[in-house]
A and B are shown apart, each in its own frame.
Chain A
C-alpha cells in the first residue's frame, strides 16, 4: 500500500481540506464585518421604508415620492450627475492622455496637481470654490478686469456653481482609471496602425481610443455613482437652491424626523445606483470593451 497510484491519497486530501478551512477562517473576520456594517443596515433600511410609525406595513413612503418636490429633486440629481460626468470625460481624457505621453518628470508634476485635491479636505475645497466664484470673487473680478463681462456672473448658489465644484472634486476619479488604461496600451499598437497606413487622427480614434474605453467606462461609472449620492458640495455651493436626492434624505431626518421617508429615499437611491451599474455593464460590459468589434 505504500506505493502505486493510491499512496498518501487520503493524507493529501486531508491536507487540502485543512488548507481550505484555514483560508476560510482567515477570511471570516472580513466576512462578518461586511455582514454587520453593510448587509444588516441595508436590511434594516428596507424594513424601515416599508413600516409606518405604528410599525405596520405600508407603501405610503414610496407613494409620497411621486410628489413633485421629490421628482424634481430626483431630476436635478440625474441632470447634475450626467452633466458633471460628461464634463469630467471631456476634461479628464486629454489630461490623462497628456500624463501618459509626457516624460517622467512632467508626469510627476501633473500627478501631484491631479492628486492634490485628494489630500485637502472636501469641505475646505468646497468653501474655497465659494470664495472664488462669489459675486466679488476672484473669477468674476478677473473676468471683469479682462473685459469679457460687464456685470458679475451668478456663479454660486445655483446649478452652475454646483456643477463647477463637483467637477473639480470628481476629476481625479476620472483621470486615474483613464491613466491606468492608457499606460497599459502598448505603444506598438499605435506604431502598427501607422505602419498599416493610419494617419495620427485615425490611429487615435480607431486604435488608441477603443483600447482605453474600459478605463473611460470605469471612470464614468465611478464619477456618476459618486455624483448621485453627493451631499456636501451641492449643499454649500447650491445654497439651498439645488436640491439633490441626498439632501432630501437629510431633510426628512433632520427637519421632519421621518425615518420611514428617509429610508424609502435611501432605498430608491440604492436601487437606481445598482440599476445604472447593471445597465452600464450590460451595454459596455467587459466582453464588449475588450473582445468585441
Chain B
C-alpha cells in the first residue's frame, strides 16, 4: 500500500463551537499541508477533541469552514467524508473478527471478496499483524487492538487520518514504540494526519507541526523544535517541557534578572513590558569560574532527587524563586554536585535564554 491518491490539504477557517456559554472553539483557523502530520496538543477541556470531532463530522460547528482541498466539507455527514479515525478506546467491533473489522470499510465500498482479502492482509502486514485475521477482537492485547484499529483506519486509503489520543491506554514502553511506528507508517503512506494528544512528549516525537490549543484558541502553531526552544507565550512554555519562571524587568531594550543584564541570542529582542525568564532544568549547568559569556543565576541548593538517568537539583534563587536543574548521572558530573544547603551558581547559555511576556498566571 502506497500513496495511491494525492493527499489533500485541510483548511480550517474561523471554526467556532459553543456549548451554552462555554466556547469550546473560538474562531480557530489552521492550514494543514498535503501529507503533513499535525498534532493538536492541549490540556483536557482545551477543545482539541472538539476540533477533531468537527473535522470528522460528528460535531457540527456554529460557524466556520472546513475544506479538504477545494471542497467544502462542513455540511457533509461523517460517512461521506472519507476519513479514517483511530479512537482512544479503539472501537473495534466485538462481533467481527480482526479481518471482519479491517475489511468492513471495503465491504461498505463494495470491493470484491478476493480484493478485500488481499488488502486486509496487506494492511495487517503493515501493522505487523500478518495472520491475525481470524482472531477474535477480545483475544488481542491492547497494543494489538491499537494496530488493528490503525489498519482499519487506513485500509480504505482515506483522504485524511484522524487519531484521538490513540496511545493513552498503552503502557509507557509500548507507547513509545508505537509512536515511532506510527511516525514511520506516516512517512511511508504520506497520508494527511491530524493527531490529538495531551502528552507533549508524544507530540514532540511524532509531529511535523504542533498546534497548541488552550481554551478554544491556538496558543502557538509551530514545528516541535521551535515550539520547545522558542515558546511564544507563558502557556506554551509551561505546557511543553518542564519550566520554571523568573520575573525579569525590561528597560531600554535590555532585560535584567535582578541587577544583571541578561545576554540573549543574536537577533532576539526581549518583549516590551514585564517579562519572564523561562528556566528549563536541562538547559542549566553548574557555573565554572567566571562563566564568560553566560548568564549566571545564584542560589542555594534545597534538595536533590535521584531519577535514574539524571539528578534533579532543587534550587532557591537569591531572590526567593524556586528553579530546578538537571544533571546527568555521569560519575564525573556527580563528583562536583553540590549538597543541600550549599550555595550554587548556575550558568545559562544565551542561546537557551528564553523570555516570554508576563501575562496573568493561568
Q: Which of A193, A197, A211, A292 is the one whose CB lies under 8 Å from B156?
A: A197
Within 8 A of A (CB), among B81-122: 81-85, 87-89, 91, 93-97, 100, 104-105, 108-109
Question: Is B296 among interface residues, defined by CB-CB distance under 8 A?
Answer: no
The answer to whether B108 touches A195, judged by C-beta atoms less than 8 angstroms apart, is no
Judging by beta carbons under 8 Å apart, are B105 and A197 in contact?
yes
Contact A192 B87 (CB under 8 A): yes
A251 CA to B114 CA, complexed, in Å: 64
Complexed CA–CA distance, A193 and B87 (Å): 11
List CB contacts (< 8 Å) of A175-210 with chain B.
186, 188-189, 191-200, 202-203, 206-207, 210
Q: Does A293 lie at the interface of the complex (its beta carbon under 8 Å from any beta carbon of B)?
A: yes
A window 191-236: CB within 8 A of B? 191-200, 202-203, 206-207, 210-211
Asked if A68 is at the interface (CB within 8 A of a chain B CB), the reply is: no
User: Does B142 make an interface contact (CB < 8 A)?
Assistant: no
Give the size range of B's interface with the partner.
20 to 34
Q: From B162, which residue of chain A is reached at the shortest CB distance?
A: A195
Contact of A207 among B77, B89, B93, B105 (CB under 8 A): B93
CB neighbours (8 Å) of A199 from chain B are 79
A186 and B149 alpha carbons, distance in the complex (Å): 15
Residues on B with C-beta less than 8 A from A207 are: 93
Contact B95 A211 (CB under 8 A): yes
Is residue A29 contacting chain B, with contact meaning CB distance below 8 A? no
Residue of B nearest to A195 (CB): B85
A191 touches B82 (CB 8 A): no
Judge whether B78 is part of the interface by a CB distance below 8 angstroms: yes
Bound form: Cα–Cα A143–B229 in Å: 79
Say which residue of A186, A193, A211, A293 sits within 8 Å of B100 (CB atoms): A293
CB interface residues, B 288-344, toward A, < 8 Å: none
User: Is there contact, CB below 8 Å, between A196 and B105?
Assistant: yes
Please report the C-alpha to C-alpha distance between residue A219 and residue B109 in the assembled complex, in whole angstroms: 35
Note all chain B residues with C-beta closer than 8 A to A188: 87-89, 91
From A292, which residue of chain B is reached at the shortest CB distance? B95
Does B152 make an interface contact (CB < 8 A)?
yes
Cα distance, A206 to B162, chains bound together (Å):
23
B122 CB to closest chain A CB, in angstroms?
17
- Name the prevailing secondary structure of the A interface residues: helix
Inter-chain contacts of B77 with A (CB < 8 A): 194
Q: How many A-B residue pairs have CB under 8 A?
A: 72
Task: List A residues 32-49 near B (Cβ within 8 Å).
Answer: none
Q: Does A291 contact B (CB under 8 A)?
A: yes
Cross-chain contact B87 with A290 (CB below 8 angstroms):
no
B87 touching A194, Cβ below 8 Å: no
A197 and B97 in contact, given A188-B91, A191-B87 (Cβ under 8 angstroms):
no
| Of listed A188, A200, A203, residue having the most chain B CB within 10 A | A188
Residues of A within 8 A of B162 (CB): 195
Pairwise interchain contact A194-B89, C-beta atoms closer than 8 A:
no
A290 in contact with B108 (CB, 8 Å): no
Inter-subunit contact A192/B95 (CB<8 Å): no
A195 with B56: CB separation less than 8 A = yes
Contact A210–B95 (Cβ < 8 Å) = yes
Rounded to whole Å, the gap between the CB of B81 and the closest CB of chain A is: 8
Q: What is the minimal beta-carbon distance from B135 to any residue of chain A, in angstroms?
A: 11
> Across the interface, do A293 and B94 meet the contact criterion of CB distance under 8 Å?
no
Closest to A289 in B: B95
Q: Evaluate contact between B95 and A196: CB separation under 8 angstroms.
A: no
Instruction: Kindly list chain A residues whose C-beta atoms are within 8 Å of the C-beta of B242.
Output: none
User: Are A195 and B95 in contact (CB-based, < 8 A)?
Assistant: no
Q: Mark A250-293, 1 if CB is under 8 A from B, else 0.
A: 00000000000000000000000000000000000000001111
B138 in the interface (beta carbon within 8 A): yes
Verify A290–B94 contact, CB threshold 8 A: yes
Known A-B contacts A194-B79, A195-B83, A197-B156; the reply to A189 vs B108 at CB < 8 A is: no
Q: Which residues of chain B come closer than 8 Å to A210, judged between CB atoms?
A: 95
The chain A residues found within 8 Å of chain B, CB to CB, are 186, 188-189, 191-200, 202-203, 206-207, 210-211, 290-293
Can you offer 8 A-B residue contacts whose CB atoms are under 8 A? A186-B89, A188-B87, A192-B91, A198-B79, A207-B93, A211-B94, A291-B94, A291-B136
Nearest first, the 5 closest Cβ-Cβ pairs linking A and B are A196-B105, A192-B91, A188-B91, A194-B78, A195-B85
